[in-house]
Amino acid sequence: TPLSPETEAMIARRKALLGPAYRLFYQKPLHLVRGKGVWLYDVEDTAYLDAYNNVTSIGHCNSHVVEAIARQAGTLATNTRYLHGSILDYSARLLATMPPEIEHLMFTCTGSEANDLALRIARTFTGGTGIIVTETAYHGITLAVSEFSPSLGEKVDLGCHVRTVPAPDSYRSEDVAAEFEKNVRSAIADLKRHGIKPAMFICDGIFSSDGVFDGPTGFLKGAVEAVREAGGLYVADEVQSGFGRTGDAMWGFQRHGVVPDIVTMGKPMGNGYPVAGVAARHAVLEEFGRNGRYFNTFGGNAVAMAAAHAVLDVIENDGLMANARAVGAYLREGIRALQPDYPLIGDVRGAGLFIGVEIVGNPLARTPDAALTSAIVNQMRDEQVLISACAKAANVLKIRPPLIFTRENADFFISKLSLVLSRLS
């Protein structure tokens, strides 16, 4: 069905006003006007099951967070140049969820800024400039960070100090740990050949944009050792995998069994209010702190801290990590149960409520099928379920519902997926 004249007009107006760099989701873009819990509502008040949004990770418009933001905005909105108790209480609370080696927390407004700051810290500490990332990684939009975000597109130049390694593809590799370590070692060797000292290896806790690779547990160890031997740091980007999403731990890196030197976070930290941060070991921050002052006008402001505190309240009080673990496993099992009928489902993987479903044209050869993946995403949207796709070959369904997802929501999801697959098979 064609787009309505209203939708066409709004798209044209958007292009005229916002320019050519923005992209919309779906062949039939959505015009959303409100959200509640796991549901989003369009301009006609049609409800869509949100199985994709990990910013409002504890549910859309969570009243505890909304009230905390409103209360603080009506009391005091200042920055980190004044003493304020809430930023200290929050930092103590957040750092308590991390390994004891990670002692400090600094605040930014976006994940991109957090990764940009991590790079500055890593450069100061190591004296190096080299960066190793995975082939389809996304780390953000600043100039420095876009140079190590290959998923921005082939036409965006990676820096000459950046090396990419293939994703840890557990679906195709016999020994992910050994292969990943070998690739990281060759990247380090290539940097050295060009006279570049590594500053950092940065990876997403669950390799989100590479195609959602959660395991096997501990597979990062060898790669991180190689980076450290070469004098570089391990930066864990928890912007997508943090705050309980993976179900079995608060942080995605915890499944890898290595303590990072720097951890960056953002997205779900304020459930929609811009809050992001960089946590680091003391030794790593020492020289950076000596050399310059750090001030981020909005980073760590009093309202941001109120939002962030409220998010942790809800994750803890409502047992959302346990829910992510249980409902995530239930949802993966439900999708796996469709595999015998639909061999185009090549692999179902993930942890907690972060799920990747690999779509293949030929299941024996495991051939990625991007066209089929896109058709599934768009038909799911027509069935009022929101997901997207990721991976180098754009053939992995990325399913990332709010942590409050219930078994009933999962059943609804599976029934719609089954319907869409039956149509496309």
Q: Where along the sequence are the contacts to ligand PMP (CB under 6 A)?
A: 110-112, 115, 138-141, 204, 208, 237, 239-240, 266
352, 246 Cβ separation under 8 angstroms: yes
Buried b (16+ CB within 10 A) or exposed e, 314-338: bbeebebbebbbebbbbbbebbeeb
Whether 384 contacts 239, CB under 8 Å: no
Is 260 in contact with 223 (CB distance < 8 Å)?
A: no
HSE, CB side, 13 Å, CA atoms: give it for residue 201: 28
Half-sphere exposure of 178 (CA within 13 A, CB side): 3
**Residue 250 beta carbon to ligand PMP: minimum distance, rounded to whole angstroms:** 16
Smallest distance from ligand PMP to CB 65, Å: 17
Q: In terms of CB distance, is 65 or 109 closer to ligand PMP?
A: 109
Tell me how far, at minimum, the Cβ of 422 lies from ligand PMP, in Å: 32
Nearer to ligand PMP, 111 or 350 (CB): 111
Least distance in angstroms from the C-beta of 149 to ligand PMP? 8
Minimum distance of ligand PMP from residue 400's CB (angstroms)? 10
Nearer to ligand PMP, 239 or 385 (CB): 239
| Shortest reach from residue 208's CB to ligand PMP, in Å | 6
In the bound complex, which residue of the shown chain has the CB atom lying closest to ligand PMP? 111
> CB of 25: closest distance to ligand PMP in angstroms?
13
Between CA 69 and CA 270 the distance in angstroms is 10
Pairing of strands 162-165, 262-265: unpaired
Q: Record the tokens describing residue 55, joined without a space.
A: 């910013």
Q: Which of 339, 292, 336, 319 is nearest to 106 (CA)?
A: 292
Nearer to ligand PMP, 134 or 323 (CB): 134
Give the separation between CA 98 and CA 86, rounded to whole angstroms: 19
Rank residues 74 and 153 by Cβ distance to ligand PMP and give the closer one.
Answer: 153
Q: Which is nearer to ligand PMP, 240 or 388 (CB)?
A: 240
- Residue 253 contacts residue 284 (beta carbons within 8 Å): no
Q: Which is nearer to ligand PMP, 114 or 344 (CB)?
A: 114
Partners of residue 131 on adjacent β-strands? 162, 200
